[in-house]
Amino acid sequence: MMGNHTATGEANSTLCSPDRNRWKGTSMSKWMQEWSTAAVGPHDLKLAERPLPEVGEHDVLVRTLAVSLNYRDKLVLETGMGLDLAFPFVPASDMSGVVEAVGKSVTRFQPGDRVISTFSPGWIDGLRPGNGRTPAYATLGGAFPGVMSEYVAFPEDWFVAAPKSLDAAEASTLPCAGLTAWFALVERGHLRAGDRVLVQGTGGVALFGLQIAKATGAEVIITSSSAEKLERALSLGADHGINRSSEDWVERLYQLTADHGADHILEIAGGAGLGQSLRAVAPDGRISVIGVLEGFEVSGPVGPLLLKSPVVQGISVGHRRALEDLVGAVERLRLKPVIDKRYKFAEFPEALAHLDHGPFGKVVIEF
């Protein structure tokens, strides 16, 4: 399924000549810069030059404009997360860029198109791949190579047209963080106008959840342990903020909703715990559990699970069609992803370090 991404020589595909002029310099460079690591562990990242990837018949060659980081990128680098990584390993999964060349069988894109990557290549629509014994977890920057390169060449099926209303850095935040919130609330969650949505925290997925829920006409309550972050969330449109460190957030939620509870909870796994969310959810409500996979358990009392009969569903990003829907919604609703800080390509280590400090929204590298 995947493109011939190991760059071992001359690209033998059709490089559409009229577009050569877009490449750096008057004649296209055959070399590019790329961040990679030779082994799992935190201290091994290095920036090196490599030949440009070969472009197969179904591939598009994309010049990277921005990469958005997720905390998972850090975990993969430091622990491997049990994945079968190929070394040298190029990290990161979410990018936006511009198509520079296309293989001869490519039909969906042409040079000059702005695109974003998909987190789970090959999952186009409908049910997720994999089976009960071995869930699918083949993502960019994991089982597949990552995107911290000046160029990538992947099958055209792995890309989606970028929204015209966003710059490259903003667009790069959609494939994982944006889609996770959209998939939880809209594609699987069927969020409705007037619903009460509780969002835990102010990270990348949480702030997308806030923005998408507001755009859908929901009432949004956000929790945080930082008064300052709550202020910023309110200025983004949240209807209410609850400071988790100074009050019982479930009790406060009851008060804010006349005891109704939350129709939908965006639960960041490893936070306050499923137990509190089960207390907080409205009857027949929904708890979307999102988050990283390392070492956490969910647990909670069976009483409210039975008596309120909520749906508890884990959400692990989503399919390409939903990403296309999100792109359309972003354009039509003029949603602006929240970027906490933009780093330069050379500052990748600093950007990774930022992830440990609870960013308000996303951390992005601009190329």
* Least distance to a copy of itself, CB of residue 226, Å: 24
Compute how many other C-beta atoms are within 10 angstroms of the C-beta atom of residue 246: 10
- The kind and range of the H/E element at 108 are none
Q: Which residue number, 290 or 364, has a Cβ lying nearer to a copy of itself?
A: 290
CB 198 within 8 A of CB 266: yes
Q: Which is nearer to a copy of itself, 160 or 212 (CB)?
A: 212
CB of 324 to a copy of itself, least distance (A): 10
Q: Which two tokens stand for residue 53?
A: 């990837």
Question: Least Å distance between CB 257 and a copy of itself?
Answer: 7
Question: Strand 59-69 and strand 114-117: pairing?
Answer: unpaired
* CA dist., res. 171 & res. 298, Å (int): 32
CB closer to a copy of itself, 244 vs 320: 320
DSSP SS3 for 332:
helix
285 closest CA partner among 269, 265, 303, 270: 265
Q: Are 124 and 322 contacting, i.e. CB atoms less than 8 angstroms apart?
A: no
Pick between residue 136 and residue 234 the one whose CB is nearest to a copy of itself. Answer: 136
For residue 161, the minimal CB distance to a copy of itself (Å) is 11
**Cβ at position 353, least distance to a copy of itself in Å:** 25
Antiparallel, parallel or unpaired: β 339-344 and 311-314: unpaired
CB of 227 to a copy of itself, least distance (A): 25
Q: Which is nearer to a copy of itself, 50 or 319 (CB)?
A: 319
Give the Cβ contact number of residue 354 at 10 Å: 17
Q: Which is nearer to a copy of itself, 26 or 299 (CB)?
A: 299
